[in-house]
Amino acid sequence: MRWRILIMPFAWPCACRRHVQSAEGYADNAAMPAPPVFKPAHDAIAGCDLCVAPGGVLVWSQADWRVIRVDDAAHPAFYRVVCNRHVREFSDLAPAERRRCMDLVCAIERVLIDKLTPTKINIAALGNMVPHLHWHVIARFEWDSHFPNPVWGDKLRDPLPSPMQRLAMTTEQLDTAVIAALSTC
């Protein structure tokens, strides 16, 4: 159900939030690269949400894979590595594709560790709701609303200050770091 809730038209966070965060001490990131433009696959399958839309904030994209950030206020450091074509199981990928996928997952994981010092990184591939194989890469904190449960489990608390205020940087700055790491994969 979470995935269905999060499938939404492509949209970057408004500048207002960045201004608020700047007022709290974050630095504006004037060097933030232009967001990639999502292009539906030429073999897009009718009726598939992830063939016609990125499925979140599109951060990075190449022919076979894309990376989106889940627009989730409770878990703001939450990325997905999504296969652009329909693949059901990880073992359905060719060996080189599996390695490529894991290189992308590891690059994001390392950025989250280095930039945010989370309590734990959660990585998972469920894919029960969509036909595009994808890996979730989520920075978890002992103060977050669900920890130590999975983000799909029972909520345990309402953290204050908010998760966004607790992050060491804005999500836009985090995206920039993720893009830089992926560019070297």
Q: Contact positions toward Zn ion, by CB under 5 A?
A: 45, 48, 50-51
Beta bridge partners of 45: none
Rounded Cα gap, residues 10 and 55, in angstroms: 7
Our CB check for Zn ion shows the closer of 134 and 140 to be 134
Residue, CB closest to Zn ion: 48
Our CB check for Zn ion shows the closer of 28 and 49 to be 49
Q: What are phi and psi of 101, to 5 degrees?
A: -60, -45
Q: Is 110 helix (H, G, I), strand (E, B) or coil?
A: helix
CA angle 175, 176, 179 (to 5 degrees): 85
Smallest gap from residue 51 Cβ to Zn ion (A)? 3
Our CB check for Zn ion shows the closer of 87 and 107 to be 87
Smallest gap from residue 71 Cβ to Zn ion (A)? 20
Our CB check for Zn ion shows the closer of 48 and 179 to be 48
Smallest gap from residue 86 Cβ to Zn ion (A)? 5
Rounded Cα gap, residues 35 and 71, in angstroms: 15
Smallest gap from residue 50 Cβ to Zn ion (A)? 5
Assigned token pair, 158: 């309402």
